[in-house]
Amino acid sequence: MDNLRGMAVFATVVARGSMAAAAEALGMTPSAVSQQIRKLEAHAQVTLLHRTTRKLTLTEAGEAFYRSCAQMLAIAEEAEQRLGEWREAPVGELRLAAPVGFSGKLITEALRPLLENHRQLRLQLFFHDEQIDLIEQRIDLAIRVGSLSDSSLVARHLAEWNNVVCAAPAYLRRIAPIDHPQQLQNVDWLALNTVAHQAYLNFSGPGGEGCKLRLEARVAANSMIALRQFTLDGLGVSCQPEPEVREALEEGRLVRLLPEWTLPPFGIYAVTPRRDAQPAKVKVAIEALRRHLGGSTTLRFHAPV
Element (H, E) at 154: strand 154-161
User: What is each CA distance from 57 to 18, 39, 271, in whole angstroms?
Assistant: 10, 18, 57
Q: Which of 66, 88, 110 is the last residue of a domain?
A: 88
pLDDT band at 302 (very low <50, low <70, confident <90, very high): very low
Element (H, E) at 115: helix 105-117
Residue 48 · residue 38 · CB < 8 Å: no
Does residue 169 share a domain with residue 148? no
The SS3 of residue 89 is coil
CATH number at residue 228: 3.40.190.290
Q: Is residue 300 over pLDDT 60?
A: no
Asked whether residue 261 is domain-assigned, the answer is: no
- Quote the percentage of the chain above a pLDDT of 90: 30
Does residue 140 share a domain with residue 104? yes
Residue from 96, 87, 19 nearest 51 by CA = 19
Average pLDDT on 183-211 reads 86
The SS3 of residue 28 is coil
Domains identified in the chain, total number: 3
* Greater model confidence, 166 or 102: 166
Range of the domain at 212: 163-256
pLDDT band at 2 (very low <50, low <70, confident <90, very high): low
Residue type, 177: P
- Summarised one tens digit per residue, pLDDT across range 40-71 is 888 878 888 887 766 788 888 888 888 888 88
Residue 178 · residue 258 · CB < 8 Å: yes
Most confident of 1-10, 72-81, 174-183, 192-201: 174-183
Q: How many Å apart are CA 98 and CA 96, to the nearest integer?
A: 7
Q: How many residues does the chain have?
A: 305
Does residue 96 share a domain with residue 29? no
Asked whether residue 205 is domain-assigned, the answer is: yes
Does residue 107 share a domain with residue 63? no
